[in-house]
Amino acid sequence: MPSLQHNLFGWILGAIAALKPPRDEAHARAMFARMHSQKPALPPKGILKTVDAQVSHALGFPVWTLTPKSGSTGVEMVYLHGGAYVGDASVIHWNLCAEIVRDSGATVLLPIYPLAPEATWSTSFDALLKLARGSGDRAPVLMGDSAGGGLALALAQRVAASGGSPRVALISPWLDVTMSDPATPTYDRVDPILSAPFLEVAGRFWAGSDDPRRAEVSPQFGSLRGIRELLLFSGSRDVLYPQAIRLVADAKAAGVTCAAHLEEGLVHVYPLLPIPEAKEPRAALSAFVRAHS
């Protein structure tokens, strides 16, 4: 049974997010603009006591590099943050990345990629692909939550298509921006945080003038072949849960190793929340990164 803390955070996040479907395009643009931070995305001061952080703008947008203060293993990870492609990185993303740095000794790259509606997938995809391919002999681990999970898998597909064998960890990933799974309405009714109609609109803005079913936007419609390993976390009180179930089946069909943790009664991105249910997933995420060394 989910803990009291889990249920409380689900209620709080639902009350804060209030992701109601926009009335029209003008309303959507105004709504999405309000979700953007008015300040540069900076690491919380608390984590700078435990990890080092530097930022680069070489790709045209900020890319933060978090490194351990000691005991570096040389492993790299790229983390793609969630936010429906219209919301910035938040404290829960920074905290998870810093924890992985401390626990695994890895270097974590956290790109603050441009958001819709001003940007679309094509604005930053090629630049992010450079990060995903890495610069050394060993490509980085790819990890992401929600929209960032979809982006991480889309990048992994491109890396695999060019001969790489990426390892990917996904937290409540958004893999089909069209929300076309027939089970979606059932899970939409029990999700206290997300809204399928809201996501459909955000997904169309992220696709821009391109087909929202193209693999770079909705990796559910792409190929998993060549991906070395997947680690997946998803809870059943999440409108995206059917997409996680589909991913497990697709991975099996493609012969891809997939360790899936599909948890009954848990909400969207539960491993990122300060709740008891997040303890084991966070340890598993750090272990997944450590295993890359």
Whole-number pLDDT of residue 28: 75
- 204-223 tens-digit pLDDT: 999 999 999 999 999 999 99
pLDDT digits (tens, 9 = 90+) for 138-183: 889 999 999 999 999 999 999 999 999 999 999 999 999 999 999 9
Q: Determine the CATH number of domain 4-36+43-290.
A: 3.40.50.1820
Q: Please name which of 285, 273, 189, 181 lies closest in space to residue 233, comparing C-alpha atoms.
A: 285
Between the alpha carbon of residue 66 and those of residues 151, 157, 197, the distances in Å are: 20, 25, 35
The predicted structure's pLDDT at residue 33: 75
For 226-267, the pLDDT digits (tens) are 999 999 999 999 999 999 999 999 999 999 999 999 999 999
Whole-angstrom distance, CA of residue 7 vs CA of residue 18: 16
Contacts 24+ apart (CB under 8 A), 212-217: 212/177, 212/178, 213/176, 213/178, 215/154, 215/157, 216/121, 216/122, 216/125, 216/154, 216/158, 217/121, 217/154, 217/177
Phi first, then psi, for residue 169 (nearest 5°) are -115, 130
Please, which pLDDT band fits residue 12 given cuts at 50, 70 and 90?
A: low
**What's the distance, CA 268 to chain centroid?**
11
Contact (Cβ atoms closer than 8 angstroms) between residue 19 and residue 69? no
The confidence band for 100, taking pLDDT boundaries of 50, 70 and 90, is very high
**Tell me: the pLDDT tens digits for 30-88?**
777 777 766 677 899 899 899 999 999 999 999 999 999 998 999 999 999 999 999 99
